[in-house]
Each structure stands twice: as C-alpha cells, then as structure tokens.
Structure 1
Amino acid sequence: MIYLTKVDLEDDAVRFVSIDFETANRYWSSACSVGVAVADETGVIDEWYTLINPLMEFEEQNIHVHGILPRDVEDAPTFKEIWPKLSSYLAGNVVIAHNASFDMGVIRKAVARYGLEMPDFDYLCTRIIGKKVWPDMENHRLNTLAASKEITFEHHNAMEDARVAANIFLHAMADSGVQSIEELTNVLKVNRKSIHDTSSSGSRSRYGDIKPQTDQFDPAHPFYRKQVMFTGTMKSLKRKDAIQRLVNVGGVHTDKMDTSTRYLVVGARDYEKFAAGKKTSKLVQAERMIEYGRPLRIISEEKFLSLV
C-alpha cells in the first residue's frame, strides 16, 4: 500500500473512486460483476462488490477470462437494481479505471439499455497515466503495473482489479511528486474526461425558464447562490412553484447531483417513505456524498417551505 503525505492537502484533493466491470459476452451492456474501491491519500477506505445478472447469454471467451458462470448470477441483482447504489459512488466524484474506455462504455451502454439516469462525474484512465509516469515499461497492462510495484492480485476479479487500479493511481501520484489529482493531471498533461447526466437536454435544470420575480436578495439566506435539488412528490405545492420560490430568494435549481449541490429537498410524500427506510436513487446518492464529507444537507418539504 502506498501512502501520500497530508501536507497542504486541500479537501477532496486525493479522493477518487476506482471501478472495474466484467461482462458476460462481447456486448458492453452485459455487465456480470462490478467492483468499486473508494480511496484517498491513505489508500482504499471503502469497497463494494456484487455479481450482476446480465439477463443475457454468456460467451465462452468471457467465462474463460473471469470464471463467472451463468449459474453464479441466477439470483444476482440486475444492473437496473444495483444502479441506485452504483451511481451514488459515481456522482460528483473523480472515477478511475484501467482501460477506462471499456468501463465507461459498460456504464453508458447499460444505462441506455435500462433507460436509467446518468449522474455527472469525471474520469481518468490508469493505463494512460501509467504510460506517462513509467514510459519505459514493457507494457502498461494492469498486471504488469501491479508486478512492478510488487502488488499481487487475482486479475479479472472486478473487486481486485478496482482495488489494484486505485493503488496504481496512488503510486503514480507518489512517483510524480504531486499532492492532488488536479496537480497530477496538470503535470502529466492529462485531461479529465466527463460523463454528464443524460436525463435532460443538458441544462442545469429542466425548469431553466423560471426566473426570479425580484432583484433584491438577502446574501445571508441559506439558499442564496446555493444549488438545490428536489426529489419525490410534494404535498403543499407543485415542483415548478417550489422552484419559483427558490429562485426568488437567490437559490439555484439543479437536476444534477454533483459536488456543487448543497441541498436535497425531499417531497413530503417521499419523506415519509424515507423515514421508513425507503429511498429514491437521489437520496441514496445524497447519503453517500454526505458520508464522504460533502457539504450537502437533506431537508424536508416542510423545512424548505419555512425558509422560502
């Protein structure tokens, strides 16, 4: 395990999510397992792994690679069923993967297949980074990079691959002498690529035509210049009317949960379900972001109305 010093580290300077998929066949939408490793400068701090029922046929060449058989996933959840949890790891974070074009392709294809909402996140490829940091290596496959750092693992196990990719990324930072992801990308001249929410036309809000009915705002108001998101069904008023009240106090409505989101307002009907343990995908994402230290608050419809 590699550890970075904590000298002058900014918040979230070295927080990222490493991900790896295995697929049942040649089609990228056929994910049959996923491994997720959350890491910071101290190493991997959280992990999650699950088999996935791809609802598709397995091909022998894929089974030969990862060893997952059709019977192994018979009782496993589908991609649609794991998406609320998986997307909560991705939303608003820097995501890394080895041969990231494949893993991002799996996400895109599976999301499109099931008609799911895509969160916003940036991603980087450890293979590309490896080529920049260690240009003289024979090749930059994950197992080759791991061997060079004396890391042993079970290749093509999604959890182990995600964990090792996270450690390779931390080694790349250490060997580059940098203290943040931003500094690493600047030094290596590698650009973060982005995946954006595909559930709307691309604007921050589908209600972008709603404008403030005043130009007098109180800068001390908790919603002033803060991005606010809504989820669930409201009892007291329509969503559009709630957004009008929000922008009237200087708030900014967003449909996309990312690192800039500061409030998630839960409609009264769903807040009751939330209290009983039932959660929307946005609630799951919000709880995950709060768990990792994001300055995000979940508030009820009643609390929202008391502020506007």
Structure 2
Amino acid sequence: MRAVAIDFETANEQRASACSIGLAWIEDGRVTDRETHLIRPPEMRFAPVNIRIHGITPDMVEDAPEFPDVLASLRERIDGCDMVLAHNAGFDMSVVRASCDTYALSYPEFDYLCTVKVAQKVWRDLGTARLNALGDHLGIAFKHHDAGEDAFVCAEIALEAMRLNQVANLHELARATQVGVGRMNATGYSACSAPRVARPRNGTAPSAFSDVYRPVPGMPRSMDGKRVVFSGQLTRFSRNEAQEIAGRFGARVMGSVTAKTDLVVVGNGAGSKLDRARHLGLKLLSEADFLDLITVKS
C-alpha cells in the first residue's frame, strides 16, 4: 500500500490562497517520509487571523514557487498513490480544486479519504475528531497548523485506525468504517461521505478555529449587545460555527431580519434575508468584515 496524507494552510479566506502544503508518505503500513513546501499565493493578501494560526507571513513566501510548479513537482508521486488522506478533506480538496481553477489546470487524479470521518467512527467516545485532540489521544506531540506536522498526524490516525479495524489497506478501512471514498479526476470530483455520527449529549465537537476566535478577557467584546443575523453560506465557517463565535463576542444571534437587527452578515447565495435587510436599510457585513470584528488585534 502506498498513500500520502496532505494538509494545506491558506493565506486568507479564499480557498485558492494556499501558502503551504505538507505531505506524509506512507508505504507498507508506516510513514516513510515527510515534507513541507511553501507556496506563493496568486494574491499576496494574508489575513491577520491566518498568520496567527500558522505563522506564515508574506515575506516567507515571496520567493516560493506558485501552486502550478508545486503541483507539477508532486503530481507523478501523488498519481502513483493508492489513496490520498486529509483531515477534513472537504477543505483540502477544495483548496486543490480552487487553485487548479485559478490557474486553469486540470485536476489531479486520485481516490481520497477524510480522516475526520474515519475518526468519528473509530473514536466515537472522544466526542471530537479535532486533529490536536486525536494527536493527544494517540500520544503524538506535534506543532498544530504546521502543514507537514499536521499531515504526519493525519497519516498516523489512518494507520492506527487500520490497526484497530484489522484491515490491510485504506480502501478496506473505508469499507470497515462505512466511509465513502472520494474521487478527484480531470473532469470533476465526488465527495468523501459517511452517515451522520451522533455526538455525545455531554458536549459537541468544537470548531477547528474555536481556540483562535475568542475575545480577550477583560477587554470590550466587539459585538456586545448587537442583534446579528447570518444570511447565505460563508467560506470559512459553517452557519453554526459563525453563530457560536459571534455569541462569544457578545452578539445576540437572531434567526430573522427585523427593524431591530443591528448587523446582517452576508455570504454566498444570500436570499430573502438580504433583500429585507436592504429594504430596511440595515448595516451589511461581508465575511471579511465579520472576520475583522472577531479578530483580536495585537
């Protein structure tokens, strides 16, 4: 069995803004090599919150190759893999697709498996499939949000899941855990899927960014007392995650737009809520505006 675990870090909220890729290569049931490559994004715009997460700054990637060159250097080895792994594969695969679309490249061809979905089946009692929680559970010390180290932990999660399920390869692991293998090819992609897993009642899995978007104790909260409505789909958060984070910063999250609404955060595909907000003359925020409000300035 030959496989690779990958992990991307991005410069901003755009999926085509990859600034780093990490890879952990697997052969014969163990990680045999690890590597990290910096990437110069097409638009050199680095959001402060992203820098805070991964520590990569514009000057570090100024002379780095762009995505097409990085992909070309890796493509032959990736094409030879039985499986590509990613922790939260929906994000990493969208980075690949968006970057290929930006540079008018054909998509690479491979099967892929999401280790979040696998972990939710294998370690149900943990109540979370976050990478750092799984790393702690498996006794792996690593620097979270370093692409190479995150890829390594992703690989180890898959290997441990194989051992626990007593299977010989990753396709068998997918079948044992009832996780549908995703596929990317030159004409498109199909998503990695799995039946919904019920979470324990005593808690829910926090967002991957829950430890980043928090107000500073003792400082005024940026959305204190504001009635906030979300409309449309955000690129960085699910609706529930965005509402949870807004609440931490003091917002009163509302389900519908009224004359008393203070702010309406507008994402892709915003519909009747946006129309009503415009009719009422309410203040509209883009996703970037929302990120500015919840980013603690140093």
Relative to the length of structure 2, the TM-score reads: 0.60
What residue is the counterpart of 2:100 in the other structure?
111
TM-superposed deviation, 1:197: 1.1
Count of residue pairs the alignment pairs up: 186
1:35 to 22, 25, 48: 22
What residue is the counterpart of 2:141 in the other structure?
152
CA distance in 1: counterparts of 2:162 and 2:112, whole angstroms: 16
What residue is the counterpart of 2:63 in the other structure?
75
What residue is the counterpart of 1:162 in the other structure?
151
2:51 pairs with 1:63:
yes
TM-superposed deviation, 1:92: 4.7
CA deviations on 1:220-274 (whole Å, 9 max, x unpaired) are xxxxxxxxxxxxxxxxxxxxxxxxxxxxxxxxxxxxxxxxxxxxxxxxxxxxxxx
Counterpart secondary structure, 1:136:
helix
Displaced runs of 4+ in structure 1, greater than 3 A?
Answer: none
CA distance in 1: counterparts of 2:16 and 2:7, whole angstroms: 14
**Are 2:29 and 2:159, in contact at CA under 8 Å, matched by a contact in 1?**
no
TM-superposed deviation, 1:190: 1.3
**Are 1:92 and 1:120, in contact at CA under 8 Å, matched by a contact in 2?**
no
**Are 1:17 and 1:89, in contact at CA under 8 Å, matched by a contact in 2?**
no
Counterpart secondary structure, 1:162:
helix
What residue is the counterpart of 1:44 in the other structure?
31
1:177 to 136, 155, 166: 166
CA distance in 2: counterparts of 1:195 and 1:92, whole angstroms: 14
2:11 pairs with 1:24:
yes
**Are 2:22 and 2:36, in contact at CA under 8 Å, matched by a contact in 1?**
yes
What residue is the counterpart of 2:290 in the other structure?
none
CA deviations on 1:134-185 (whole Å, 9 max, x unpaired) are 1111311000011001001000000000011001110111111222222212
**Are 1:23 and 1:33, in contact at CA under 8 Å, matched by a contact in 2?**
yes
2:157 pairs with 1:141:
no
What residue is the counterpart of 1:237 in the other structure?
none
CA distance in 2: counterparts of 1:191 and 1:104, whole angstroms: 15
CA distance in 2: counterparts of 1:82 and 1:26, whole angstroms: 21
Higher radius of gyration, 1 or 2: 1
CA distance in 2: counterparts of 1:35 and 1:178, whole angstroms: 26
Counterpart secondary structure, 1:62:
helix
CA distance in 2: counterparts of 1:118 and 1:182, whole angstroms: 22
Which consecutive unaligned segments of at least 5 residues does structure 1 have?
1-11, 200-308
**Are 2:5 and 2:86, in contact at CA under 8 Å, matched by a contact in 1?**
yes
**Which is bigger in relative contact order (C-alpha 8 A, separation at least 6)?**
1
What residue is the counterpart of 1:86 in the other structure?
74
CA distance in 2: counterparts of 1:178 and 1:141, whole angstroms: 23
